[in-house]
Amino acid sequence: MDLQVAPIVIEDGVWITSKCVAQMGVTIGRSAVVTPLSVVHRSLEAEGVYGGNPVRFIRKRFPV
């Protein structure tokens, strides 16, 4: 089996809580929050709160 690698990009102000998994090739956008035990399998937009397995959008982090 060939080794496959891709960078994980974590932008400024991101909070990644305990026991999370970020899979290869994802980008977590600026000021996003990832809740405990989440599995990040796709790139996440900036300023959102995300959680679950697989990860899903919960709400915007900052009110408008």
Q: What phi and psi, each to the nearest 5 degrees, are found at residue 39?
A: -115, 110
Residues in the chain, how many?
64
- Look at residue 37 and tell me if it is in a domain: yes
- Look at residue 39 and tell me if it is in a domain: yes
- Look at residue 1 and tell me if it is in a domain: no
For the chain, what is the domain count?
A: 1
- Look at residue 31 and tell me if it is in a domain: yes
Residue 53 is part of a domain; what is its CATH number? 2.160.10.10
- Look at residue 2 and tell me if it is in a domain: no
Q: What six digits make up the tokens of 24?
A: 């290869």
- Look at residue 42 and tell me if it is in a domain: yes
Closest CA to 43 of 18, 24, 19: 24
* Residue range 11-61, pLDDT digits in tens: 999 999 999 999 999 999 999 999 999 999 999 999 999 999 999 999 999
Give me the domain span that covers residue 34. Answer: 9-60
Predicted model pTM = 0.90
- Look at residue 38 and tell me if it is in a domain: yes
